[in-house]
Amino acid sequence: MSKSQTPAAPTQAPTAPSPAQPSGNTLGGLLRQVPATVKKSSTTQKVMGGALLAIGVALLATRSKKAKPSPEAATLDELLYFVNDRIAGYERAVAESQDAELRGYYKQLVSQSQQFSTDLNTYLTQEGGERETSTTLKGKLYRAWMDAQAAVTGRSEKTILGANIFGEEWALKAYQEALADQTLTGSMRQAVERQYALSQKTYDRLTKLQEKQA
């Protein structure tokens, strides 16, 4: 067709473009996807359908809130199990020791461990995690075994020190692993490094105290 020719008029006026429809992921989009037969259903069916839709939306919202923990949060959570073991171990030592000087030292270590836990839990919640107050299964089993042993042989101060040394070795290994995986940075890593250094000093002092026991 040459440029001078006029195109024939359309037999029907073009329809205006429909407005953009919302995404199917939105509540409006979900409602628009309900079949017409359902829209014409009884009042009871409409109520039930609306309730199911509301439940579905609520579940989607709940799932979105349960985000996968960050690597930092996972590392802190794992470390806290061992720090909480440390608290339980020194609380037991306070209860069992008959040496006033040692009991005083164990009380200091309980307070120190509780502060460790508070500091780590603060960072954990900042990373979107939940406070961790549990202990390891290994720690629970070990303390139960020590209870059974004490019921038969009793607990000398040297035995109590030995149990504390063993527990401190677990804590040191947990700190080493937390620092080795390189997930912790900045002030979080500095806090864990400080705790690790203090745990190492505690281990050294406990070892020397045990050597002095008859």
pLDDT of residue 24: 40
**Integer Cα distance of 117 and 111 in angstroms:** 10
Mean pLDDT in residue range 86-107: 95
Please indicate whether residue 54 or residue 209 has the higher confidence score (pLDDT): 209
Mean of the per-residue pLDDT values of the chain: 77
Residue 35 backbone zone (phi > 0: left; psi -120 to 50: alpha; other: beta): beta
pLDDT surpasses 70 at 63? no
List the alpha helices (DSSP H) in the chain. 27-32, 36-39, 43-65, 71-96, 100-126, 137-153, 157-180, 186-212
Question: For residue 37, which amino acid is it?
Answer: T
Q: Considering Cα of 77, then 79, then 85, then 90, what sign does the dihedral take? A: negative
Model pLDDT for residues 141-193, shown as the tens digit of each residue: 888 877 776 766 678 899 999 999 999 999 999 999 999 989 999 999 999 99
What does the DSSP 8-state code read for residue 69? P
Read off the pLDDT band of 85 (50, 70, 90): very high
Please state the rounded mean pLDDT for residues 58-64: 46
* Exposed/middle/buried for residue 36 (C-beta within 10 Å: 0-12, 13-18, 19+): exposed
pLDDT band at 48 (very low <50, low <70, confident <90, very high): very low
pLDDT for 170 equals 93
Per-residue burial over 87-122, b if 16 or more Cβ lie within 10 Å, else e, is: bbbbbbbbebbeeeebbebbeebbebbbebbebbbe
Copy the structure tokens of residue 134.
């549990």
Higher pLDDT, 11 or 149: 149
